[in-house]
Structures are given as structure tokens and as C-alpha cells.
Structure 1
């Protein structure tokens, strides 16, 4: 029986899954695969950008919170007359280092003192040029203590622990320091008198390169030291990266130094970490209440 031979154009008897794709099918499938791959890549890029944006914003928020913590630590212990310059670009004041008690006077004329806290580690950081204020009580019932301020001439010298005060307790020994103070009248060197040590300090909103920062610096007998950046980058001065207002007891702008009861501070930072970015900003507003007593009344 005659059977026609199988030509090249005849149907392939193999199952579909064993024969592969035709040229037409490949021409249709490849663009679709490329479109799916591009969509997936775009999704991954957007997700990575979103994650980086979240991390950058978290860093900005941490910078602003750190700035608030540092400012509150330095400013909350101040009296109104410790503020020297207040503006949107500069805060200059006498920062408090610590308080203590005058024990005695050294044969050389230096004061022997103890720190007001148990550790007194801050005394070791005192340096020439710091401000020393001591309170003495004139004779008479109800007399108002008088404050006298002088300059520390040199770094304090640690002394052996010993008793301190107008009536020293022979059992209680405290770590003592010898302070060379210049310009302090002998009449104010009273055993048991409280004192306070301060340092001229500045917070400034300054520009470094193309970015703006919040920086801190202090002054001794040699002058102002190098500014130390604390937070940033912030918005520029034109974009109000830093704003400071003095507030009176009623919450209004204070018009006189002795009426200042608080500082209202606002910091602004670009969300993308660049002062020229236009993708929004994060800001932090807070108020620091100053100590109500006058500096001349008590430490």
C-alpha cells in the first residue's frame, strides 16, 4: 500500500511542549518580557529611594533633637543677665560650668574650694579666662548678699581631700582645688561663701562651604576657639534656618533684658540633607525657660 512521504512543510507530530517557540511567538514575547523587567526595576529603584529618604529624614530629626538637648543643657541654668547677645544667627552668653563653696585662702593668696557636687569632675576643665563669681553676706540681719565677679588666672590645681567650710567637719573630707583668682577683693574671700564658675560661650548659625550649621565655641584668655559643628546641615539664613526670640512672663516678646524669662528657638533643616534642596524641610520648635532668680542674688 502506497503511503506519501513526510515533507518538510508537514505538521510536526511531537507534542507542543517539545517543539519550542516559533519566531512570531518570540517577537511577541521578548518586548513583553522587557516591559515586565523594566517595571520591576523601576519598582525596586523607587523602593530603594523611599528607604534612603526615610533614613535621611530620620538623620535630620536626630540632628534637630541633638541640637535641642545641647541648647537646653547650656541655657536652662542661666539667668536673664547671663545672656549677652541674642539674634537669629548668634547666641552669646556666660555658660555655667558649676557651683561650689570657698573653703579657705591659701598662703599664696589663692582660694581653696570644693565643687558643689560629689564628683566635681568639671573643676578639672576650668581654664584661665573663666569667670568666677562669689557671694558674700554683709553684716546685719536681712542683709542682701553681694556678688563679686573676677577672672580665673590659671587652671585649678588639685589638692588632697580635706575638711571644708566655716565650721569644718573633721570627719567629712572632700576633694579640694586651688584657684588663682585675679581682681577679687580680700573682703569677699569668706570661708563658706558659695561661688559659680562660668565661661563665655557662643552658639552661631554659620555657613561652611555651601551648607549651614549650628556651631558652638567658647572663649578663654587666648580668644575664641575653633567653632565646633553641633547639628546640620540647616536651612540658610534666608530660609530661616535658625530663629530665636526672647519671651517675657506673659509669653510676649521681651523688650528689656531683665524681663526675659524664656527663649523660643526654631531650627529648620532641609529634608534631603542639602540646603538647596526643594523637597521640603523638617523643623523643631521649643522653648527654654531661664532661671527666675537674678544672678546677683544667688548662685
Structure 2
């Protein structure tokens, strides 16, 4: 066990990667920067906005939903969340582990600079790294969200920070685990060696093993936690002017949405009829009682 003592146990109760009511770490780390960006944007643009708004004649929608996120923009948001983790990390650095140290376990044969752990990566650099892995391994947007859940779970469980010297291997380990747990067609460790040609299978196996141990083998992601991370990523994108692309609602898309709505409405009516039928067999001793469902 990594945690010991009452304070650590109390912190576990507020771990966002396990509990849907706890605020995500990346969103809280971005708040100070977001306030500064909003002030600068208001001063430079005099309060004007280029955001598209729906009207009586035109309705704008994006193609990003909690069940089918947009891959490109989800990766951008996850990269932005990782960027804020690194930029606003704790000053004491927390616990450092050799398995994530890029100096001890380089991802390429190129010589690692002496100041490899001194300079924070830019958001674009993080995005390119994540996008390359997702594109080569053909991973889904949902996998990107689970990757962020595992990353924050690691930082919380192991009481460590993600920093310039370890961010690549931490992200790689989170992607490796998420791709195996989430995607139907798992990517093998040897497949990542084809993407990052200078690393060995043994290194990947050890990275996965230690990542799992640090997570205390807790790889479960409740649907409520997944949804929270999805919506917090949307909030992060909005506050950083990284809005998902909006398109006018076409006739075909409106008809599809209407058909889906009608199907859901029919299913809901069937459930109500079935409930009434079951309640009639109780000899009217009690009526129908609707209780809010908790997804997990």
C-alpha cells in the first residue's frame, strides 16, 4: 500500500479519478491561468467574441458528445490538461520514480540533454506526442479521456508530480494501460515498440507493471467519473478559447436527432408501462415510486 495514516485516507475520499463529486485536478490547476487569459482577451478584444450563437434561423451544433467525443479536439484538451499539470505542479516536486525518468529510460537513442528536466514543454509538444501515439495505434477519443483519469489517479495514489523529466513516460504508461482496458482491440506492448522504435518490449512491460502497482491495480473507471472528466475537459476548452467546431444544423442531422429522440421516448414509455404492470400485482398496497438512478 502506498498510502498510510489518516490524512492520506481522507485524501482518497476526494480523489477525482475515483469519485464523481470530486473536482478534477487539471481543472483546478488551470483556474489562475484562465482568469488571466480572460482579462487579457477582454482588454484586447474590448469584450467582443467570435463564438457562434444559435438563432431562430440557424442552430449550431458540434459533433462532440459524451458517448462519441471528437478525437482531434479531445486529444487537444487532454494535452492542455497535461500542460497545466506540469506548469502548475507543486514546488516540492513530490515523489520521483526511476521508471518514469526519461534520463534513465530514454524513449529514443538521441542523447538526452543535461537540462531535460528544467524546461516545461509547450502545449503543442505534448499534443504532438499524444497525437502520434493515438494515430499510430488507432486509439479512440474515449481512450484519451481514460488516459487522463489514469494519469490523475497515478499522481494522487503515488503522491508525485508530472514534470519535464517524466511527463512522456507517465503519459505513455497511461495510454498503454487505457488502450488495453478501454479499446476492444487492445494494442500490445510490442506494437508500441514499432511506434517508438528505440524502446524495448522489456522496458514497456516494466513500465506497465509498475504503473499498475502504483494504481494499486485499480483500473476501474465508473461511467460517472468518465462523464465528469468529459465535461470538465469541455469546460477547459471553453475557458481556453479552444471551442469544438460548430456547424449549422442540417435537415438530415435534425431528422436523425428527431428519430433518436423518438426512439428514446418510446423506450421510456415501455419502461413506464412495465412498471405499472408490475405495480398492479401488489394489490395496490403501494404506488409507483421513481428513484433517481446512480450510474457506476
TM-score between the two structures when normalised by the length of structure 1: 0.24
Higher relative contact order (CA 8 A, sep 6+): 2
Larger Rg: 1 or 2?
A: 1
Q: Which has the higher helix share?
A: 2
Q: Which has the higher strand share?
A: 1
